[in-house]
Amino acid sequence: MPQAFVSHHPAILHKLTRLRDQNTSTDDFRELVRQLAVLLGVEATQDLGTESWLVHTPLAECVGTRIRESLALVPILRAGLGMADGLAGLFPHAAVRHLGFYRDEEKLEPVAYYNKLPDGQAEDLCLVLDPMLATGGSAIAAVDALKAWGASRIKFLGLIAAPQGVQALNEAHPDVPIHLCGLDERLDERGYIVPGLGDAGDRLFQT
């Protein structure tokens, strides 16, 4: 699929398998989401703009590298918060912007309930975070909001996706790369990813 990058890293595949297990405890589930977000974030940001930077080691001067682009982590509430925790550790200089959507269970469409994008210029790169890319509705709505805000470079990071969600996001926003830990078989009649892992938000927050 165009603009969809599915990781094949052994550590990601191992942790994703543990994440799917219905017997994985809440504590372990949260930690696995955090770890997977870090690993996926490393893969998804290999093209970050950098610049040379002079530092003084205890022994000598050294020309190193630092990230020159500004970053925004944009978790889709609520499940995206589990991924934001990990990526904030990887990129402590990144801003965190929150967008909230819930799914109308009858229409399977996103309903916006929270938008705290500040006034002013958007960051150079916005990473939209949501563990599940099912129908694609919430992801599309989040990218819509970011583009209306002024964001010009956006990537979507998710743990698992259904082909329908990837296709929908690609068609709505072909300029937004999609980075995933796994691509599953299908959606069921309720709009859940199969085989999936259940409801990520419920498993993260014991609801």
Alpha helices in 56-199, H assignment, sequence order? 80-90, 137-149, 163-172
Region of 85 on the Ramachandran plot (φ > 0 left; ψ -120 to 50 alpha; else beta): alpha
Average pLDDT over residues 21-50: 95
pLDDT tens column, 95-110 = 999 999 877 777 767 8
Please tell me whether residue 192 adopts helix, strand or coil conformation: coil
Q: Among residues of the chain, what percentage have pLDDT more than 70?
A: 99
Q: Which residue has the higher pLDDT, 113 or 54?
A: 54
Residues 204, 62: Cα–Cα separation, whole Å:
43
Domain boundaries, the chain: 4-205
The dihedral over CA atoms of 206, 114, 48, 180, expressed in degrees to the nearest 10, equals 40
pTM of the model: 0.93
Q: Among residues of the chain, what percentage have pLDDT more than 90?
A: 81
Q: State the architecture of 4-205 in CATH terms.
A: 3-Layer(aba) Sandwich (3.40)
Helices 80-90 and 26-44, packing angle to 10 deg:
60
Indicate the helix (H) or strand (E) that contains 53. Answer: strand 50-56
pLDDT-wise least confident of 65-69, 80-84, 108-112, 118-122: 108-112
pLDDT tens column, 190-206 = 889 999 998 888 899 88
